[in-house]
Structure 1
């Protein structure tokens, strides 16, 4: 079977045994229900994460932990421990549907048959008594999964007489710093009887009690190096531990359901708290059945026998605590009849209250949603009650904020789809969002660079990937940059080995973790003390990087100028001292006194496996743009706040004049810019003028002339895009002018970096070359969304169908396309702060 591209999938999804097939909503990613991939992308390095292609949209608020349901109907992503990853299907976490038309009946769990129970390694066939929903084949669709974050839809067809659809979402609302943090998912079921006979239906939700599972049982979280030289730590969650768990009925105004609880320490520990399964208490004509406890470790007959026979489950409120070795699941069934032509809408909420995120021994943070619901871990029911009360309003707000993007019909549908769906990483990228404090009124926020490189908010990566946060949740973008501003003056002389030297066979080379004045690469890792212990990565010595200080200054000015909430002088003033210190530190590396910092010969910038020597186009252009931004900052702060920035203006002006006078002289070759001044490497570096892009975007003096910019973009397009796999993959990082590789076994130069491509495309768009921008983005989006990489977009893909570093932060750079259109509307709600 040949791989199915996006257009072929659309065609298949429109075939059905029914006269009118369900059509996926506009600008959504869709897939026939349960249809596998023939040749999905696979991981490049054996040590890197590869869960396979069965990923769907995450559910849950930013920093609240999230769950994911795939296109085969299973819940398989469990990011409930801050910054950590656990993937696996728990078969009894599932919806099911019973139907009787008077002459025949059927019941299926609404997922394809699971291979194994991920919570019980080496176990027998899970829930062998259950009947599972049939998967689609290339010839026949049994349903469709579609997603346009934060909305997803599952439509079932050709199996039941009833028309059955489920829409799932969480209240991810731009500019709303309360509801976007909620740990809750709403499932809006729509069932219609198109036949001429009454249909008896029963909708079932079963859920495992996982309270106490999601914390690291390895307190050392020992760090070691992967085969690619990057550090990682051991994560051993307490999966399957059920002792002390109990489930009980919930009956309160507006809500009926079941609360799932577990053992607690004092104070409450990580992974402790509650889950809640809830439905409205006033569902006219619906019989609500609840089984508070059943055993999911057997064949499932205990629950399934009566459900498959008549749509009923044991109605019992058994709240005893589990003994060691026991597991406890709970279930709700909603039984009702649909007359011919009748339809019914049923909302179901799943919420969780796991308020604590723990890091190094004794270090813990409360999640942001606890500012609104308290921190005792007893508020899952309150979360579910608000969801069932307000879900229609939330749904309308989602429509409102997505409308301006959907309306831009001149942008290809696949790119509008990706604009929404790449936002998934703000929920499932190990995001951390703490409770507010006087110093941080919106809390502290961070997203991992990726799950393989598990440290927060890598500054060089977020130079590209933070465009989404800036435009939709600008106060969170400011929170991240304030964290960097606080970290720049700090120092940590702890010595640690640098991984790159190991990969080069050069033995053990050590460096300080953090030098005072150096801009940190990241805000730390989930196994240490995020925000306070920065520079977790040790693949390179980040104190030597030549792009980080410029990245910081440019992002501060960008956020000040472009945030939909307007210019925030206090934010600018808060970051100004760190910006000055960072630029002075970076100027130390101007070894030739030509005004431009010199790269040191080891990889010392975002392409951290790609050595540059002397002045480089990439770092030099960013430096010039950052000096322009610093001068603009200084002038505004002096004019409007009365700060004395005259001395800094004088210094930066002198540096800028010298830098500009030497940049073209050292690097311009008449057609494009050499990668650097000293290595003699004869390649066209695709992202060589990122600094010029930023300067132009922010209304600063461009780094290079328009003629040089356009000539460079022409060379990049021809060499790195059109001559690399015919443009079908995207832009390679660096090739010879004729499109051939300098080193056929090279790493970074031969990779297509998704976020870099979106950034380069935004530069083309800014320069009025919209067709090229769309061609680049379309190539990358097609590879990701037809290659089984959806909702785990990697940093890099290759021409041999491999990827590296999934769930990558930089891919949200696709929102640079929106930022480069001044006539495009701002997103409703994002202007709130």
Structure 2
């Protein structure tokens, strides 16, 4: 057995930037349950409960999640799809002996019996599980500051035990950020005066072939809220053809978990690898049965820290599950410590869409040729790179987080949430394809959420894409290029519009996509994303009055604010679509006052909230977008010599007319009316999003400073302080006295997390920092104390319910960083791909 003294391989966690309680991290006692977590608002919406931890895995590579109780329970390995369930045999365990006494525990709390299969009994009944914390006694602490989490175990082992887990999520790095790998760095320290024999176990189930839809139709149905969803039936439990074998590379010892393969490789096929460094004392068991008591692995491990050292590569049949395990053994002298890296990698390179349609994941660009690409044989190569470079990856993460962590003028909850809300870029069903002509870093997309499972909803990413812009600007450009291609396209397929069903108005159909209309989204996982847009059919998105403005503002924002500098080529690529989108939107100016008119059915991001005539929300965005369009036209003519004089005259004329009528139609002397024709007497919280964008981008403000300040004062008093005393955040729309217009209303009475963060950034931009932080603090408190961490919803309510978890818009918290400091100083973000 390897023995380590005071000059052991590595040092303790202290000083290396690992997340800990009180260090701008979210933390929770290990395994402690929640008394009153937020519950889902609609029965058809997803609610897996509060036991969520930070996801591991690169963008678009699929991810896994390890919860605050130590269980692996989140499995987003099929692009855009969701499966949540605890696999108890996917776990770590520790054996310890001081020569007189020994103990062994799996490093997670005892799993519950599967209520859907009670006859199966207690899973792995031979195993000893780690005790959960209680209100009176803490057995450990889980902490997370994405993309690093840490778990510390206390009071059970004599050894001091902690684990850092991370993936190489690195701003401006369009290679490593895509890697399908999770690194677990275990630090074991002997604080006693006697040697300790230790053995660290990693067990993992062969799940190749599981994460694909076995329903070839992927049938679309409608929820009780009128939104479409498709049928997803993954191949969970499939075992036929599974085979586990030892693998050794320079610097690596491990086990490969392989499965059946088609030609070409099908979705879900490929391999996994569990591995550690080859200089350590390692035992490997290539195959054990996880369906029984687990005694074949646990009894020798609990006895002396050993596992069956066998290389059984038998292929599985049906109902013949196979797990693999490895154990690292060492002896620590008094005062000594050791770092043990354990890596889990996967190579499942194919993402399938509609019948016959597929894409390769971005990481396959870097593991190509005979050893990778679409062959699904690079899991060991990925693991080997992780074992070689994990220290460098961790150092780079610490470097890019440092400018935020050092901002003591920012409240600590805000610093924490800035990092942790980035989780959605990995676990929000993200899709990142291999590079191709015209797509130098591939195509990219994140689902609006798992309940509304379509990519990059444009109205939502107006808020939620601030993080992508500031940290991975080339991915932001990739999304906007996809929209530029989609705007001219048309699809005359008729579809029923869901909102009319919810209103009892029967079947109303509309064409899927009209030429020139800005699409709402880039499509869904069960179709052909980037080609078949406007997946959602809750409303007729061809009629929306904010999407064209959203697009033009995002194009100009990316050109102006991208940390790797202005990109004239990108601007020129997007210009034809931008002017076509604005021209299309102008056709909804029914009374020729320069401002598009809302039509009565909800036709903007608040898609359950009818607006009629000119509205403050859409009108302000329109004016800001015209200013942005004019700036784009001038920039292209000045820098590239393009003749945009005709477009400049047109936009300038519209702008003059719009500005002349906006205040005339909507200003009521204190704030802007929600719209010009409905007579709805509410203060709309997000009435001046367009003014926020204009000011942020250095464009002429939409409204005068004194009117913006007056409106913000009314919003603060009515929708924030007047709603639940400000403890939840800003409600979308209340009467001036803070009472609801309709006590049973939906959108007006919800606190939308992303809208709140965007609104807070607006307050900050207008010099009202204390209000900005009060709003942010209220929302962050609800999310991270209410069991909503790493599944942040679109909306929360005053009755402890939420809607639409894993929501894209919540990354709007990065708008606060954009308005607060020179965020371009974040190391790495300015790199070119």
TM-score normalised by the chain length of structure 1: 0.96
Which of 232, 249, 255 is the aligned partner of 1:258? 255
Partner of 2:206: 209
Take 2:31 and 2:120, find their aligned partners in 1: how far apart are those partners? 23
Which of 227, 232, 236 is the aligned partner of 1:230? 227
Q: CA deviation at 1:215?
A: 0.1
Q: Do the aligned residues in 1 keep the contact of 2:20 with 2:150 (CA within 8 Å)?
A: no
Q: Partner of 2:362: helix, strand, or coil?
A: coil
Which of 297, 321, 330 is the aligned partner of 1:327? 321
Q: CA deviation at 1:123?
A: 2.3
Q: How does 1:233-252 map to 2 (within 5 A)?
A: 233-252=230-249
Q: How does 1:773-788 map to 2 (within 5 A)?
A: 773-788=772-787
| 1:138 correspondence with 2:132 | no
| 1:24 correspondence with 2:21 | yes
Q: CA deviation at 1:135?
A: 0.2
Q: How does 1:700-739 map to 2 (within 5 A)?
A: 700-739=699-738
Q: Partner of 2:192: helix, strand, or coil?
A: coil
Take 1:48 and 1:113, find their aligned partners in 2: how far apart are those partners? 28
Deviations 1:48-68 (A, max 9, x none): 000000000000000000000
Deviations 1:195-219 (A, max 9, x none): 1111111000000000000000001
Q: How does 1:330-369 map to 2 (within 5 A)?
A: 330-369=324-363
Distance 1:360 1:774, change over 3 A: same
Q: CA deviation at 1:121?
A: 7.5
Q: Partner of 2:426: helix, strand, or coil?
A: helix
Deviations 1:620-671 (A, max 9, x none): 0000000000000000000111111010000000000000000000000000
Q: Partner of 2:366: helix, strand, or coil?
A: helix
Take 1:255 and 1:193, find their aligned partners in 2: how far apart are those partners? 26
Q: Do the aligned residues in 2 keep the contact of 1:120 with 1:240 (CA within 8 Å)?
A: no
Take 1:139 and 1:411, find their aligned partners in 2: how far apart are those partners? 32
Distance 1:824 1:238, change over 3 A: closer
Q: CA deviation at 1:335?
A: 1.1
Q: Partner of 2:185: helix, strand, or coil?
A: strand
Deviations 1:225-278 (A, max 9, x none): 000000000100000000100000011211100000000000000000010001
Q: Partner of 1:581: helix, strand, or coil?
A: helix
| More displaced 10-residue stretch of structure 1: 455-464 or 249-258 | 249-258
Which of 84, 105, 108 is the aligned partner of 1:108? 105
Q: How does 1:514-533 map to 2 (within 5 A)?
A: 514-533=513-532
| 1:193 correspondence with 2:190 | yes
Q: How does 1:401-800 map to 2 (within 5 A)?
A: 401-800=400-799
Deviations 1:326-380 (A, max 9, x none): 0000000111111111101111111000000000000000000000002210000
TM-score normalised by the chain length of structure 2: 0.96
Deviations 1:592-644 (A, max 9, x none): 10000000000000000000000000000000000000000000000111111
Q: CA deviation at 1:104?
A: 1.1
Q: CA deviation at 1:822?
A: 4.2
Partner of 2:120: 123
Take 1:446 and 1:272, find their aligned partners in 2: how far apart are those partners? 22
Q: Compute the RMSD of aligned alpha carbons.
A: 1.0
Distance 1:118 1:28, change over 3 A: farther
Distance 1:23 1:400, change over 3 A: closer
Q: CA deviation at 1:101?
A: 1.2
Q: CA deviation at 1:827?
A: 1.2
Take 1:457 and 1:25, find their aligned partners in 2: how far apart are those partners? 34
Partner of 1:64: 61
Runs of 4+ off more than 2 Å: 22-25, 116-123, 821-826
Take 1:248 and 1:653, find their aligned partners in 2: how far apart are those partners? 68
Take 1:73 and 1:342, find their aligned partners in 2: how far apart are those partners? 25
Gaps of 5+ in 1: 1-21
Q: CA deviation at 1:294?
A: 0.2
| More displaced 10-residue stretch of structure 1: 541-550 or 274-283 | 274-283
Take 1:751 and 1:437, find their aligned partners in 2: how far apart are those partners? 42
Deviations 1:104-160 (A, max 9, x none): 111000000001359978522100000000000011100000000000000000000
Partner of 1:14: none
Partner of 2:8: none
Take 2:397 and 2:88, find their aligned partners in 1: how far apart are those partners? 30
Partner of 1:301: 295
Take 1:825 and 1:261, find their aligned partners in 2: how far apart are those partners? 43
Q: Partner of 2:820: helix, strand, or coil?
A: coil
Distance 1:396 1:424, change over 3 A: same
Distance 1:705 1:473, change over 3 A: same
Q: Partner of 1:218: helix, strand, or coil?
A: coil
| 1:41 correspondence with 2:35 | no
| More displaced 10-residue stretch of structure 1: 143-152 or 251-260 | 251-260
Q: CA deviation at 1:324?
A: 1.3
Take 2:345 and 2:113, find their aligned partners in 1: how far apart are those partners? 25
Deviations 1:390-435 (A, max 9, x none): 0000000000000000010111111100000000000000000000
Take 1:309 and 1:752, find their aligned partners in 2: how far apart are those partners? 54
Q: Do the aligned residues in 1 keep the contact of 2:254 with 2:273 (CA within 8 Å)?
A: yes
Distance 1:777 1:671, change over 3 A: same
Deviations 1:663-685 (A, max 9, x none): 00000000000000000000000
Report the count of equivalent residues.
Answer: 809
Q: Do the aligned residues in 1 keep the contact of 2:38 with 2:786 (CA within 8 Å)?
A: yes
Q: Do the aligned residues in 2 keep the contact of 1:91 with 1:117 (CA within 8 Å)?
A: no
Q: CA deviation at 1:282?
A: 1.1
Q: CA deviation at 1:25?
A: 5.9
Gaps of 5+ in 2: 1-18
Distance 1:618 1:354, change over 3 A: same
Q: How does 1:72-111 map to 2 (within 5 A)?
A: 72-111=69-108
Q: CA deviation at 1:24?
A: 2.6
Q: Do the aligned residues in 1 keep the contact of 2:726 with 2:778 (CA within 8 Å)?
A: yes
Q: CA deviation at 1:824?
A: 4.7
Partner of 1:288: 282
Take 1:121 and 1:518, find their aligned partners in 2: how far apart are those partners? 52
Q: Partner of 1:647: helix, strand, or coil?
A: helix
Deviations 1:493-550 (A, max 9, x none): 0000000000000000000000000000000000000000000000000000000000
Q: CA deviation at 1:102?
A: 1.4
Take 1:308 and 1:476, find their aligned partners in 2: how far apart are those partners? 48
Partner of 1:176: 173
Deviations 1:781-818 (A, max 9, x none): 00000000000000000000000000000000000001
Q: Partner of 1:606: helix, strand, or coil?
A: coil
Take 2:170 and 2:551, find their aligned partners in 1: how far apart are those partners? 27
